Amino acid sequence: SFSLFNDTNFHSVMKTVMLLLVLSVNAGAGTVSALQTETNPLSKVYDLMDELVAKIKKDGEAEAKAYAEYFAWCDDMAKNAGFEIKTAESKKEKLQAQIAELTSSITVAVSKIEELVAAIAADDAELKNATAIRKKENAEFTKNEAELMDCVATLEKAISILTKEMEKNPAALAQIDTSSTQRLVQTLGAVIDAAGFAGADKTKLVALVQSQQSSQSDDDQEDAGAPAAAAYKSHSSGIIDVLEDMKEKAESELKDLRKEEESSQHNYDMLKQSLVDQINADTKDMEDEKASKAEAEEGKATAEGDLKETLKMLKNTKEQLSTSSGTCMQTAADHEATVNARNEELKAIAVARKILEETTSGAAKESYSLLQVTRLQTRLQTHADLTGLEVVQLVKKLAKKHHSASLAQLASRMSAAIRFGS
């Protein structure tokens, strides 16, 4: 409220204001002689107000420029940070997808490796088993082949010797009784002894004849059920014929044995080749899977490291953006408050000037002599002192209301001028 500027104390206020300006001029000049010329103290008040207004506006312009530059930095910072965050978010998603894909590849590779290891082990076990069987079969074949070859050789030797004996004495072997095994063996033994067979060859030959005749007898009994004696009647053509027949059977068995061995060996070779090829293929696939797994693991480790760094950078960027944005917002708020305060100061000064103009209409155009100033100084000890203090209080209230440091400083200078004349 500006109620203290009413008609009642108008003249006192006018004189007080003029006195304050006179005192100010007096303090600046240093002597009373400086006031010999006429002066206008109210005009000085306006000049001080104009200077204050100019200073406030200049400070405002400087602050506005600095704020514009700072806010431009805030905009650039926000744009750059936003771009970095967007780029980091995109990179994070790609790395996460890459890690998931590589993890899946590692899992698949591990599963395939396990399957291939099992398949290789199974094929290897099958090959070992087939090889063991083949060795056993080959050993049995070698044994049987040797026996049959020895049998054929013995029979060939016996036939050769007996053939030579028959050439010497045809009648001696022509009527050999082959109707029974016992008689055949006895007769053959006598012939062999006479032919000079070695003991070992004799034993082999007799054993062969006995074995052959027993086998033939069993076959005839099973087929016809006839008595044993009748079975030998069909074989009474001569001992050489008996031996030739035995030789042919031995050679036939040897041929069949070798053919069977050849077939078994061929089957084994085919199986072995198939298993070896499969093992080699599975081994190569397993090594490829291991290499792929190692590559995927290396890629995953790299991606995880990149993701860690990306997340760290993303977090820091967001924190920096948040901090900077908060600072920028606070600075904007502070700037707005400063602008408002400056506007309030200007408004307050304008209001004070308007009040002075309204209450001192025409006074700014008047001049005051030294005598008038002296008289005003004399009256300052009375009612003017109180009125001057009321003016100071008014300025202080305006400074407090509008939080104006400039008005507060002005009030202090006015108070000092009233109290100490400075």
Give the pLDDT band (50/70/90) at residue 215.
Answer: low
pLDDT at 278 over 90: yes
CA distance from start to end of the chain = 29
Give the mean pLDDT of 150-157: 86
Q: pTM of the predicted model, to two decimals?
A: 0.54
Q: What is the pLDDT of residues 239-267, one digit of tens each?
A: 778 788 888 988 999 999 999 999 999 99
pLDDT at 34 over 90: no
Residue 331 CB partners (closer than 8 Å, separation 6+): 67, 70, 71, 74
Contact 4, 359 (CB under 8 A): no
Token code pair at residue 11: 């003249």
Q: What is the pLDDT of residues 5-31, one digit of tens each?
A: 333 333 333 443 444 444 444 444 443
Residue 333 CB partners (closer than 8 Å, separation 6+): none
From residue 166, alpha-carbon distances to 24, 191, 193 in Å are: 178, 10, 14
Residue 39 DSSP SS3: strand
Distance CA 255, CA 352 (A): 141
Considering only 291-295, 407-411, 412-416, which range has the smallest mean pLDDT?
412-416
The region, left, alpha or beta by phi > 0 then psi within -120 to 50, assigned to residue 369 is: beta
* pLDDT number for residue 422: 44
Q: Residue 90: in which H helix or E strand, if any?
A: helix 41-168
pLDDT at 228 over 80: no
Residue 254 CB partners (closer than 8 Å, separation 6+): 145, 148, 149, 152
**Highest mean pLDDT out of 164-173, 208-217, 309-318:** 309-318
Higher-confidence residue of 115 and 198: namely 115
216, 150, 151: which is closest to 181 by C-alpha?
216
Distance CA 289, CA 105 (A): 10
Q: What is the DSSP letter of 180?
A: S
pLDDT at 115 over 50: yes
Q: Count CB neighbours of 77 within 10 A.
A: 16
Distance CA 386, CA 379 (A): 11
Q: Residue 217: in which H helix or E strand, if any?
A: helix 199-224
Residue 275 DSSP SS3: helix
Q: What is the mean pLDDT of the chain?
A: 75
Distance CA 238, CA 178 (A): 7
169, 210, 149, 254: which is closest to 202 by C-alpha?
210
Contact 165, 172 (CB under 8 A): yes
Higher-confidence residue of 277 and 348: namely 277
